[in-house]
A and B are shown apart, each in its own frame.
Chain A
Amino acid sequence: MARVVVDVMLKPEILDPQGQAVQRALPRLGFEGIADVRQGKRFELDLEGPADEAALARIREIAGTFLANTVIEDFVVRVEEPAEAASADNNAEEGAVR
């Protein structure tokens, strides 16, 4: 099963108060040296078929019309590497056994 990941981030010019709050909390927790934090969303889409160009075009349409609001957000669509996906599947199975 192919997995496609859609990352959605606020556009750079849009204020991200949540990211700012996280960034401001870091020194208090003892983590220095982080200049900026932006918070976004990650969607994992497991396809029934292969992640071919037709499937990716469809997912770009889903991302542009629904997962992201392109007035304020940008999105990136990428196919997750099979090795990574396989290990993710194994983890899921382990989780199920427990």
Chain B
Amino acid sequence: MGQGILLSAAADIDFMIHGVFSYELFGQTVWITTTHVCVLIVMLVIIGFCIAANRAVKHASEVPGTFQNIVELVVEMLDNMVGGVMGKFAVNFRNYIGTIFIFILLSNISGLFGLRPPTADYGVTFALGIMTFTTIHFNKFKHQKVKGVIKGLCDPWPIWAPINVIGDIAVPISLSLRLFANVLSGVVMTALVYGLLAKIAYAWPAALHVYFDLFSGAIQTYVFCMLTMTYITDACTTE
């Protein structure tokens, strides 16, 4: 990959994805990239938190300590969020929505700690979009049966079916592109500031990090989970 146009002023600042090492798999060259490393770090942090939370809950006391309080707060907040949107379908989806919420939130925030956020790679967000797509259609077939799905496909008239199919396919693409582009714009803008204004970039880029990593990351996480829940509730509802 050649040198970027905008970053030619500072060749040492780079926000592209790089390969770490490659191996051959069935004749294909597969690269382990910096994204994989960042996802691994985020997952290790989540697993460490989970082990600590498990220990805290096993030795739970009547009057909760600090850490137990935090764990209960997180679980309660996620439960209320899912329950408020999905109503009676919430029971089956609390685990899934809570998992992707925590994963996307930590991925977006990891930009604060000097990692390249894993969600700024389309491979990661598209995988999340595909998971949502699969869940939507599995639940559609489970709750509305084949007859209901065909009826929904030919909504006003049967001639409308191709447009409905395109609308269904656009859901994961727009979901994943929204998350990806938001995080990527934050990455690019902070990289530009650090690269082009390197001489005067002391302390004040923290404001950029607060906006792009914390505020924008939290909002986009909320939006992704909210839209996923809305689509799944829509698929579960039978007339």
Bound together? no
Residues of B within 8 A of A (CB): none
